[in-house]
Amino acid sequence: QVTVYSPDQPSTPWLTGTTDDNGNFTFAPTPSTLGNWTVKVRQASHGSMINIAVAEAKVATDVTPEAGNDNPKNQRLMIQSTTRSFTPLQTILMGASGVWGFIGTALFFRRG
């Protein structure tokens, strides 16, 4: 879930939406509204917040222009989720490694 807040009304959501399957979210801030736009991304009680400074009708940071278009009005922000869960196989392998580590340590000290 993504929520965007404008500099004019920082307590009222300006835009809400969700990321795509790759964790990307695109929006175009109003060029006439200058200041810090706040973007909050939340998933399963985890989240992050980023401030995007907009000055002189240009997006200042964390932007990439669309392919072949350097016009600042057509730039977009890409937010990608960094939280991923483990697959069942990874979870089993991590658990088995932990158990084997405990067994190996116990056997090492036992032979002493």
Where exactly are the structural domains of the chain?
2-81, 85-112
Q: For position 83, what pLDDT does the model report?
A: 56
Write out residues in the chain with pLDDT < 70, as ranges. 56-84, 112
* CA–CA dist 37, 6 (Å, integer): 5
Predicted model pTM: 0.48
Q: For position 47, what pLDDT does the model report?
A: 83
Question: Tokens 């196989």, residue?
Answer: 89
Q: For position 96, what pLDDT does the model report?
A: 96
* CA–CA dist 38, 63 (Å, integer): 14
Q: For position 81, what pLDDT does the model report?
A: 53
Q: For position 102, what pLDDT does the model report?
A: 95
Q: For position 97, what pLDDT does the model report?
A: 96
Question: Between β-strands 75-77 and 63-65, what pairing exists: parallel, antiparallel or unpaired?
Answer: antiparallel
